[in-house]
A and B are shown apart, each in its own frame.
Chain A
Amino acid sequence: MPANVLHAENVRKIFYVYTDPAGTTVVSSKKQFSLNLWRRRSIYELLALDDISLEVYPNELVALLGPSGCGKSTLLRIFAGLERPTSGRVAFKDQEIKDPDPQRAMVFQSERAVFPWLTVEKNIELGPKLQGVPRAEREERVRRIIELIQLNGFNKAYPATLSGGMLQRVAVGRALINRPEVLLMDEPFGALDAITRNTLQDHLIRIWQETRQTIVFVTHDIEEATYLATRVVIMHPRPGRIKGVVPISLSHPRSRTDSAFIEARRKVADLLGD
C-alpha cells in the first residue's frame, strides 16, 4: 500500500446558521455568542459532515458522489484548506491541513472563478508568479499548459470572450501549472451542457493519463463518476456520511455502452439508492 496523499479521520463539520432580522441567512463556521439580538437570531446547527474517514492515494482518480447537501463539497473544501473541520483530523502527506496551498489545487464549480480582468495567459501564469518562479520558466510552463488544455491561440483572450467549457479548461490549467500533488475538482462540469460535459470529461481523462495527476472529483452525476473514477466514494446527506466505496477497475478511456461499464454503473446506483 503506497503512502496516502490525503487523509481524513473522523471528520465532523458543523455549520451554524443565523438569520438576520433583515432576512439574510448567514452560514458560519464559528458559533457566535452575541447579545445583540438585532443582528443575529434563530441560531441552529447544521451537521454537514459526520465521522468521515477517507484516504486518497497517489495517481488515483477519486469521485465523491452524492445528492446535493451531502457535504461532498464541504469535504473537498476542507481538503483544500478553505474550511477547517469542527473535529477530527485532516492531513496532507502526514501534515495537518491548516491553510490553502497550491499543492492542493482547487477547480471551482463556477467558471466565474477565472479572473475576468486577466487574459487566459495571465490567469494561468498567476500561480507560479505568486510563488516567485522566474519569468522564462513561467512562460515555458504556460506554453506547455496551454498545449495540454488545447487552448492554443487564445493566449491573449479575455475570459468574457470564451465559452463556459473553455473557461473551465483555463481553470484546470491554472490549477495544474502549480504542479499540485492533488487536484481537487468541485463539480467542475456541473454548470455545462451535456455535450460540452462529455468533451471535457474526455479532456480530463487525457490529462490524467498524460500526467498521472492525483484527482479528487466531486459530482452528483452517477454516469460521470463511473466514467471517470478509479474509485467512487458514495455519500448520503443529513448528516453527511460515507455510505460505501466502489472501486472501478475498467481501463481508460471507457465506453459508455460497454456491458462492464453498465454493470459498474448499476453497482454504484444500487449503493446510492439504498
Chain B
Amino acid sequence: MKWVSRPALLALSVLGMILWGAVGIADPPVASAAQHLEEFFKPQQERGEYFKQFERPGEAKPIATWDRPIGGYIEVEGKMDSRLFVVVIAVGIILLNGLGAWFPKVFNVALVRALTSIGVILIGWEAITYLGWVTSVLLPGPTAVFAKLIAQWERGYIQIHVYYSVRRLLTAFLIAIGTGIPLGFLIANFRRFADYIDPLFNLIRVVPPPAWLPLAILWFGIGDPPSIYIIWLGAFFPILLNTIRGVKNTQQIHVESILNLGGNRLDVFRRVMLPSAFPTIVTGVRVGFGIGWICLVTAELVAVDAGLGWMIDDARTLLDTPTVLGGMVLISALGIIFDVLLRKGEAAIVRW
C-alpha cells in the first residue's frame, strides 16, 4: 500500500460510502411477496423448492441471500451449556475483581465494575431461565441467545441485516450533515433568511419523525427511501440547531481580532466562525446520530424488508425470541461502536 497516500484512501472510502448509499436508494424492493403467496395457495404436492426450505426446520442452511434476506425459523441443535456459562462468568468476575484490587494501575477500576454488573445480570438472567421460573419462549436465557446469534451469523443472516441497516444509516446521516450544517450557517448569519425559515422548521421539528412513516411509505413505497427520510428528519434538527447555536456563540472579540489582523469577510467565516462553532457542531452530530439510530430501528420495524429492525420484527412473527433478543444486543452494540467512533473523531480534531 506504499503508493496509496492516506488522504487519498480516506477520500476514496468517503466516496465509496456515498456511492454505496446512492446504490441503496436506487435498489428495487427485494422481497417477493407475490411469489410467496402464489406458492402458498398451490396444493401441497405442487409446491416447489421455494417452500421446502421452510419445511425442514432441523437444518440450519444459508437460505438468506443478499437479494432475498428472508429469515425462517431455524432450530439450533448444539446449545451452550448453562452451568458452564454461569461458572465461567462467575470465575471471570472474581478473577477480574481480584486482579483489579491487586493491580489497580493495570486494570481500569471503572471497567472492572462495569463488567461485574453486566456479569451479575447475565448470571441472574441465565439462572431464572434455567430453573424454569420464566417461559423460555418469552425470555430465553443468554446462552440460548448467543447460540442463536452464532448460528445466524454462520448462515450469513446477521451480516445481511447489519449491512442494510448501516448503509441506510450512513446515507441518511451524510445527507443530514450535508444539509444541516450549511443551513445552520445561513440561518445564523442572515437575519432575514432566518425570519422566513425559522417558523417553518419549528412547525416541522415538533412532529416526531416516526409520525412521518405512513406518509413516507405512501410517497416512497417500502424500502430504503422512506427509512432514509425518517432517519434524516431525526438527525437533521439536532445538527441544524447546534450549528446555529455554535455560530451565534462566536465571540465578537475574535471577529474584531481577525478584521484587525487584515482578514476579510471570508476569513471571518473560515478562520473564526467555523472553528469556534466546531465543538458545538460535533455535539449536534452526536445527538443527531443517537436520534437517527432510534429512527432507523423504528422505520425498519415498519417500512423496509431488510435490516436489524426488520430482523427482530420478523423473528417475532415466528416466535423466534432468541433472534429478537440477539438483534437487540446487536443494535445496542452497533450504537455503542458508532458513538465511540464519533467521540474519538471529536477528540482527534478538537484539541483545544
Contact = CB atoms under 8 A, between A and B. Distances in A.
A110 B254 CA distance: 11
B275 interface: yes
Contacts of B253: 108, 110, 112-113
A112 B249 CA distance: 14
A174 B261 contact: yes
Nearest to B279: A117
B260 interface: yes
Interface in A49-80: 80
A108 B257 contact: yes
B15 to A, nearest CB: 28
B256 A159 contact: no
Interface of B is mostly: helix
A113 B262 contact: no
A234 to B, nearest CB: 26
Band of interface residues on B: 10 to 19
Interface in A114-144: 115-118, 126-127, 130-131
Interface stretch (A6-14, A88-96, A99-107): A99-107
B16 interface: no
B254 A130 contact: no
Contacts of A159: 352
B140 to A, nearest CB: 51
Interface in B257-275: 257-263, 267, 271-272, 275
Nearest to A110: B253
A208 interface: no
A158 interface: yes
A21 to B, nearest CB: 17
B191 to A, nearest CB: 12
B276 interface: yes
Interface string B175-188: 00000000000000
A100 B260 contact: yes
Interface string B334-352: 0000000000000000011
A25 to B, nearest CB: 15
A110 B251 CA distance: 12
A178 interface: yes
Contact of A158 (B258, B259, B276, B352): B352
A271 interface: no
Contacts of A160: 352
8 contacts: A82-B256, A108-B253, A113-B253, A113-B256, A117-B352, A126-B271, A130-B267, A174-B261
A-B CB proximity, top 10 nearest: A102-B262, A117-B275, A127-B261, A100-B259, A130-B262, A100-B260, A106-B260, A158-B352, A113-B253, A116-B352
Interface of A: 80-82, 99-102, 104-106, 108, 110, 112-113, 115-118, 126-127, 130-131, 158-160, 174-175, 178
Given A82-B259, A101-B262, A130-B267, 16 more contacts: A80-B260, A82-B260, A100-B256, A101-B260, A112-B251, A113-B256, A115-B254, A115-B272, A117-B275, A117-B278, A126-B258, A127-B261, A130-B258, A130-B261, A158-B352, A178-B262
Interface of B: 251, 253-254, 256-263, 267, 271-272, 275-276, 278, 351-352
